[in-house]
A = this chain, B = another copy of it.
Amino acid sequence: MTAPADPDAPQDMARAQDALVVFTPSGKRGRFALGTPILTAARQLGVDLDSVCGGRGICSKCQVAPSFGAFPKLGVEVREDALSPWNQVEERYRAKRGLAPGRRLGCQARVMGDVVIDVPPESQVHKQVVRKRAEAREIVLDPATRLYYVEVPEPDMHNPKGDMERLRDALAEQWGLAHAQGDLRTLQGLQAALRAGEWKVTVAVHQGAQTGGARIMQVWPGYHEGPILGVAFDVGSTTIAGHMVDLASGQVLASSGLMNPQIRFGEDLMSRVSYAMMNPGGAAEMTRAVREALNALIGQLCAEARADRGAVLEGVIVGNPVMHHLLLGIDPRELGWAPFALATSDSMELWAAEIDLEMHPDARLYILPCIAGHVGADAAAVVLSEAPHQSDDLVLIVDVGTNAEIILGDRRRLLACSSPTGPAFEGAQISAGQRAAPGAIERVRIDPQTKEPRFRVIGSDLWSDAPDFDGRSVTGICGSGIIEAVAEMRMAGIIDEDGAIGSAEATGSARCVPDGRTHAYVLHDASAEGGPRILVTQADVRAIQLAKAALTAGAQLLMDKMGVEKVDRVVLAGAFGAHISPLHALVLGMTPDCPVEKITSAGNAAGTGARIALLNAAARREIETVVRRIEKVETAVEPRFQEHFVNAIAIPNKAAPYPELAKAVTLPNPRFGAGAEGEGGSEGGRRRRRRPRG
């Protein structure tokens, strides 16, 4: 590929026969013979410059930006004629497709003098995929499925190798991609494509780890720009989230989600396992349901991205062990009892068709490994996304959901467990609870003086005390709303440390109303206008206490195993985790004590982990290795779990100190529980509450 003397080259023989080329931002540099294409120089120096067409001036992926003038820091002076003039290929490309000012095609522009070449981010093969959070791992684009443009030698009667074998050899020679094999469907279409493209084709190659090398999934005549797409799924007990990405750019083209239709067989994991055990064919029914849902979701994503199912060449799936097994058609009954044996714990490579997913007919799937019988591929994906194994800090990651996964560790050691929090955090088991949807209360503030609430509902920017707020539009309270409500009630002295709601007399608020043998707090009352009346009942508070106690007890068990009394930071993951206010989580004691500013939300980290595995094949090997060294803790058989759990029912906690919380907020200390009313606990609470915060 190194070019001989270029016809456009100035014939001034007094000039040096080679020139210095400096690439930015890598800083890589070297001397090259005059006439060397920039792409060739980049390859020889190992500079990350993309090219699908292999330097044939077709794909324009190798665009570079030359700089001219004096660069004292680099020790280079770049003359205006440091690159060969525009040639026909570049002119044609610019006329047909446009080329931004200052850009050249790296495969066409040739070195004619010392030059500084900037490789813009979009021209790098291993592009950085942008993530918004500073603390999150970087995602480098390096997918398992890629396009290659190849020129294949024509058949020759004296060398009777098949078309496939000549394509394979061309891939090895032109792209260093050895031993590629073709899927059967590829073989069926190969001869027509080669001839239609006049022996120039673009191929999609998947490089799996388990299938023994590169497999050609499709062949297109000539240069094919794509897109080639991938989907990443996080199959949760309640919701299924999906992202569609462009495998060439790493861009997310569509994101969507839908309810897991298995809900009709049982709200939580154990009820679905029971359904499988009690009903012959029940597991198969649930398998069908979730596969249909994934197909519907692929349809939604394709519609949103205006893409064709046939262009979806790859998928990555994560999910908890029960979801994982049901999706794969494995009866989950063994996950219902000790020792919670997984059918398989390793990562898997499958054909999408093996589990009936409607994508490209030969699309490949990658399923992340499971960590243990209760800690699934979703938790592995969280690890991949949050990278605790690369953290110097000791980080606690809590994936909040119906079944919470908890990971504690740093680059030295990792522990994991799961804890059955139940569906309270998702608004279930709450009297006015509902899913996060328009009309649901999601933010709550209670004035510690007046004990009057104000709130915001999903779908509106107005707080409830704004003049235009329509009180009739409120429909219920969602997971993050109930957490804030209970935490605010605790801060306002409406509930005590044990979670008991005080009476109107004890709290001094008429919003505390009798509710059977206990009290409830009236968060919203629009009944006069024909609207709803939303209460936070004693049972609601109890449900949140039990859920958060399970979460904290799990975390504390891991801390015991690790031999630590505090963590450096906390990450709240899960779609729902993204909406929890760190301060309120801490007040509630949902997490161990930690500086408030060290509690962050990771959003749907499992989904992000799936997306990382889709975009970067090395990340698959990474998580497979990391998962093997995660120490699994089974909460069900650890005697200390129960003790931590009982202590964690208190708000924030009966036993564990919360000095960091105390720095942020001083909690009042009333006593409303059995026998407390007469002891003036509420008075003491009220007194404390009146102190200014700070």
Q: Do A329 and B211 touch (CB < 8 A)?
A: no
Q: Are A182 and B344 in contact (CB under 8 A)?
A: yes
Contact of A344 with B163 in the complex, beta carbons under 8 Å: yes
The answer to the question of A397 belonging to the interface, with a C-beta cut-off of 8 Å to chain B, is no
Check if A160 is an interface residue, CB within 8 A of chain B.
yes
Tell me if A338 is interfacial: C-beta within 8 Å of chain B. yes
Per-residue CB contact flags for chain A residues 513-556 toward chain B (1 = under 8 Å, else 0) read: 00000000000000000000000000000000000000000000
Is A467 on the interface with B (CB-CB < 8 A)?
Answer: no
Contacts of A350 on B, CB cut-off 8 Å?
A: 184
Contact B160 A344 (CB under 8 A): no
The answer to whether B343 and A190 have CB atoms under 8 Å apart is yes
The verdict on A151 contacting chain B, using a C-beta distance below 8 Å, is no
The answer to whether A344 touches B637, judged by C-beta atoms less than 8 angstroms apart, is no
Known: A157-B634, A165-B344, A188-B330. 15 other contacts (CB 8 A): A155-B339, A160-B372, A160-B632, A160-B634, A163-B342, A163-B344, A164-B343, A164-B344, A164-B346, A181-B210, A184-B329, A191-B331, A191-B341, A210-B212, A211-B212
The listed residue (B160, B182, B345, B373) touching A340 by CB distance below 8 A is: B160
A162 within 8 A of B: yes
A187 proximity list for chain B (CB < 8 A): 328, 330, 343-344
- Can you list, as one digit per residue, whether each of A626-645 has a CB less than 8 Å from chain B (1) or not (0)? 00000010101100000000
Residue of B nearest to A155 (CB): B341
Name the interface residues of A324-355: CB closer than 8 Å to any CB of B. 328-331, 333-334, 338-346, 350, 354-355
Residues of B within 8 A of A165 (CB): 344-346
- Complexed CA–CA distance, A410 and B373 (Å): 60
A468 at the interface (CB under 8 A from B): no
The verdict on A191 contacting B330 (CB below 8 Å), with A210-B181, A339-B155 known, is yes
B residues less than 8 Å from A156 (CB atoms) = 339
Number of residues from A at the complex interface, CB < 8 A: 50
Complex interface bits, A364-386 against B, C-beta within 8 A gives 1, otherwise 0: 00000011110100000000000
Tell me whether A303 is interfacial, beta carbon within 8 Å.
Answer: no
Chain B residues near A329 (CB-CB < 8 A)? 184, 188
Q: Which residues of B contact A178 (CB under 8 A)?
A: none
In whole angstroms, how far apart are the Cα atoms of A371 and B330 in the complex? 43
The CA-CA distance from A372 to B155 in the complex, in Å, is 11
CA distance A371 to B165 in the complex (A): 13
A-B contact pairs, 27 of them (CB 8 A): A155-B339, A157-B339, A157-B634, A157-B637, A158-B634, A160-B340, A160-B345, A160-B371, A160-B373, A160-B634, A161-B345, A162-B342, A163-B341, A163-B343, A163-B344, A164-B343, A164-B345, A165-B345, A184-B328, A188-B328, A188-B329, A188-B343, A190-B344, A191-B331, A191-B341, A210-B212, A211-B212
Cα(A358)–Cα(B138), bound, Å: 48
Q: Which of A129-159 contact B (CB under 8 A)?
A: 154-158
Q: Which of A158, A328, A636 has the most CB of B within 10 A?
A: A158
Q: Which residues of chain B come closer than 8 Å to A355, judged between CB atoms?
A: 184
Bound complex: CA of A344 vs CA of B187, how far in Å? Answer: 7
Cβ contacts under 8 Å, A345 to chain B? 160-162, 164-165
- Which chain B residues border A158 with CB–CB below 8 Å? 632, 634
A14 → chain B closest CB, angstroms = 52
Q: Which of A402-416 contact B (CB under 8 A)?
A: none
- Kindly identify, within residues 313 to 330 of chain A, every residue whose CB is under 8 Å from any CB belonging to chain B: 328-330
Contact partners of A372 in chain B: CB under 8 A:
160
8 Å CB interface, A63-77 against B: none
In angstroms, Cα B181 to Cα A158, docked, is 41
CA–CA, A577 to B339, complex, Å? 64
A residues 147-204 in Cβ contact with B at 8 Å: 154-158, 160-165, 181-182, 184, 187-188, 190-192
Residues of chain B lying within 8 A (CB to CB) of residue A375: 160
Q: Mark A647-659, 1 if CB is under 8 A from B, else 0.
A: 0000000000000
Residues on B with beta carbons closer than 8 Å to the beta carbon of A343: 162-164, 187-188, 190-191
A213 CB within 8 Å of chain B: yes
A48 to B315: give the CA distance in the assembly, Å.
46
Quick one: which of B160, B191, B210, B338 contacts A157, CB cutoff 8 A? B338
Residues of B within 8 A of A154 (CB): 339
Closest approach, in angstroms, between the C-beta of A243 and any C-beta of chain B? Answer: 24
CA distance A331 to B181 in the complex (A): 19
The chain B residue sitting closest to A209, CB to CB, is: B212
CA distance A184 to B327 in the complex (A): 11
Minimum Cβ distance to chain B for residue A99 (Å): 38
Distance between A370 CB and nearest chain B CB, rounded to angstroms: 7
A154 vs B342: C-alpha distance in the bound complex, in angstroms? 12
B residues in contact with A331, CB < 8 Å: 188, 191-192
Residue of B nearest to A208 (CB): B212
Contacts of A163 in B (CB 8 A): 334, 341-344
Q: A670 → chain B, closest Cβ, in Å?
A: 42
Contacts of A370 in B (CB 8 A): 162
- Contacts A210-B181, A331-B191; is A346 near B162 (CB within 8 Å)? yes
Q: What's the Cα separation between A375 and B157 when bound, in Å?
A: 12
Inter-chain contacts of A632 with B (CB < 8 A): 158, 160
